[in-house]
Structure 1
Amino acid sequence: MVTILEARWTDGYWWSKDGLRLHYRDYPGPSDKPPILCLPGLTRNVRDFADVADRLAGSWRLIVVEQRGRGESAYAKDPMSYVPLTYLQDVEALIDTLGLGHFIVFGTSLGGMLAMLLSATGPGRLAGALLNDIGPVLEIAGLTRIRSYVGRSGSWPTWVHAARALAEVQGASYPEYALEDWLVMAKRLCRLTSSGKIVLDYDMKIAEPFRLPGDAAMDLWPALQSLEGVPSLLVRGALSDVLSEETASEMVRRLPLMDYLTVPAVGHAPTLDEPPCRAAIDRLLDRIERAI
């Protein structure tokens, strides 16, 4: 894993319909290619795509979104707005603000769910899509595990303490990680406060709607089907408890243009910086470039 030492982006902001100031990073790239809209997972922020963006910036423009309640984006007054349809409205507002007509979406977990919804609500505007460890069916075991830790606040005196705490909670998803890897993960997921404590970089209230019954009730198969004809890539962690092999196989069966990569020794979700992911992303972007 690589940690960015020098920023190669500009910070941008936009406004949600309910008046929240939201943040994104804009990595420069050519204007004759569709930009890549990067959508992180439930508890993630713009740093989740730092390695991907650092590698691709210059060859492609990347716009990395920070959803409400994460990182530098404002926290919502109403915790019940922390739901996929509101996140979708927020992203649509950014798309309108930036005047994006044709674009690629890279989405991890929740971000992949939004990628499917963006395709369904705007036919023809996606030039390509990457779905990272997410599909139309969410496994109960994975949802239960995530619900067990999302929204539980904590603080740590050092980055090593934060890294070890993350390893205790998420170790089963990354069994081959060493302390160095967990330190990288901690610096992605956490921030240093003015008091010198290290805390998770999201509003703990995002867990409130996620814990309600029926969270996985939305039928996303039609949204997935809207990607038919779009060059796409499905990435699944071999140890994933959120996306099953059965669901992944059915997704690929329904979408002939969808490539499929299983990342060994990783659960939910791959970082997309694993060597097989890098190669698969390059193949996807090559397919997209040849199609435009």
Structure 2
Amino acid sequence: MRELYPPIEPYYEGKLQVSNIHTIHFEESGNSQGKPIVLLHGGPGGGCPPHYRQYFHPEKWRLIMFDQRGCGKSTPHAELRENTTWDLVNDIEKLREHLGIEKWVVFGGSWGSTLSLAYSETHPERCSGLILRGIFMLRQKELRWFYQEGASYIFPDAWEEYLKPIPVAERGNLLTAYYQRLTNPDMQIRLEAAKAWSIWEASTSRLLPDPELMQKFGENEFADAFARIECHYFMNKGFFEPEDYLLLNIERIRHIPAVIVQGRYDVVCPMISAWELHRAWPEAEFIVVPDAGHSMSEAGITSALIAATDKFC
């Protein structure tokens, strides 16, 4: 089993204005002369915590991480305007050009895998490799499973807490009910919904629930951006047309070296999506971690991801 590399600090941090509204925060760490790799965080709206740096050999990689629009250290916080999948794809390209990088490896998990696929299918010539984890393609069956009915059968106790902000009469469409509250001008209503939404995901992310993760996801600032931006994207079906857009365009990237890592018992992003991607893209190495859920911090997933990043550098 592989373990995380020791903690490191970024050697550079910066801001990049990407629209009239949005400025994204980015950082570089590791070796400034190393092989470039960009990390696309989850959510959308999750941001990049410092421990993400520890998945990459600090002497071999030039690691670029950035907080996507509206979250982390990017501004304005929790902003939904000009915040779509294709805005983020453009931001990644602007950042690559800003840093003078010709090609880079793209690393993304959960929503980060969605964005990695969208970016690489748009700019395959800029990708030297893909490392994907916890596959999510933002299709209706995936959203229904986690936010309406399915995962609720496995975590009925956590589901009960998720339902609390929503009156019984509105529970036939929980995404819509949550969206109405997460966009409410009353901050008390907004935060109650945001915390319930975020804690639901934290409660189900690991094979063995992690109280510290639930506490972090329930913090006001994090929950507000995470829940608002996620629900905004989900209400808009990921801004994909048709919903199978990522699978339908896989031919554009089948020549790119890739690794797909999936926890067998991932409840947030069930393995069916990773399996369907694997069937459409058999050239990519497919790794199923038999004793893991969704979180990249679970031992088996951590080990597989570090083995992948070591292999690509």
TM category (shorter chain) comes to 0.7 to 0.9
Determine whether 1:171 maps to 2:203: yes
1:26 pairs, out of 28, 45, 70, with 28
Determine whether 1:43 maps to 2:45: yes
Q: Deviations over 1:212-250 (max 9, x none)?
A: 364464311144332212221212232334544343223
Summarize the alignment of residues 146-185 of structure 1 with structure 2, pairs less than 5 Å apart. Answer: 147=175, 151=182, 152-154=190-192, 170-177=202-209, 181-183=210-212
Q: Deviations over 1:121-142 (max 9, x none)?
A: 2223211112221244631334
Cα distance change, pair 143–25 in 1 and its aligned pair in 2 (3 A): farther
Deviates more, 1:67-76 or 1:238-247: 238-247
Q: Which residue of 1 aligns with 2:247?
A: 221
Cα distance change, pair 144–3 in 1 and its aligned pair in 2 (3 A): farther
Q: Is the 8 A contact 2:113 2:132 kept in 1?
A: yes
Deviates more, 1:76-85 or 1:54-63: 76-85
Cα distance change, pair 199–282 in 1 and its aligned pair in 2 (3 A): closer
By how many angstroms is 1:32 displaced? Answer: 4.6
Distance (whole Å) between structure 1 residues aligned to residue 14 and residue 218 of structure 2:
21
Q: Is the 8 A contact 1:263 1:270 kept in 2?
A: no
Q: Which residue of 1 aligns with 2:15?
A: 13
For 2:229, give the aligned amino acid: I
Q: Deviations over 1:67-124 (max 9, x none)?
A: 1110110127972422211111222211111122110111122221221122122223
Summarize the alignment of residues 277-292 of structure 1 with structure 2, pairs less than 5 Å apart. Answer: 277-289=301-313
Deviates more, 1:111-120 or 1:247-256: 247-256
By how many angstroms is 1:199 displaced? Answer: 5.2
By how many angstroms is 1:168 displaced? Answer: 5.7
Q: Is the 8 A contact 2:191 2:224 kept in 1?
A: no
Q: Which residue of 2 aligns with 1:159?
A: none
User: How many residue pairs end up in the alignment?
Assistant: 268
Distance (whole Å) between structure 2 residues aligned to residue 77 and residue 70 of structure 1:
6
By how many angstroms is 1:38 displaced? Answer: 0.5
Q: Is the 8 A contact 1:133 1:237 kept in 2?
A: yes
Determine whether 1:260 maps to 2:286: yes
Q: Deviations over 1:165-202 (max 9, x none)?
A: 9656532332413xxx4325644x576xxxxx775362
Q: Is the 8 A contact 1:25 1:46 kept in 2?
A: no
SS in 2 for 1:279: helix
For 1:134, give the aligned amino acid: I
Percent of paired sites with the same residue: 22
The RMSD of aligned alpha carbons is 3.6
Q: Is the 8 A contact 2:206 2:298 kept in 1?
A: no
Q: Is the 8 A contact 1:80 1:209 kept in 2?
A: no
Q: Which residue of 2 aligns with 1:111?
A: 112
Determine whether 1:237 maps to 2:263: yes
Summarize the alignment of residues 86-97 of structure 1 with structure 2, pairs less than 5 Å apart. Answer: 86-97=87-98
For 2:121, give the aligned amino acid: A
For 2:278, give the aligned amino acid: V
Cα distance change, pair 121–166 in 1 and its aligned pair in 2 (3 A): closer
Cα distance change, pair 285–198 in 1 and its aligned pair in 2 (3 A): closer
For 1:144, give the aligned amino acid: Y
Cα distance change, pair 65–149 in 1 and its aligned pair in 2 (3 A): farther
Q: Is the 8 A contact 1:236 1:270 kept in 2?
A: no
By how many angstroms is 1:12 displaced? Answer: 1.7
Distance (whole Å) between structure 2 residues aligned to residue 280 and residue 77 of structure 1:
32
Cα distance change, pair 280–77 in 1 and its aligned pair in 2 (3 A): closer
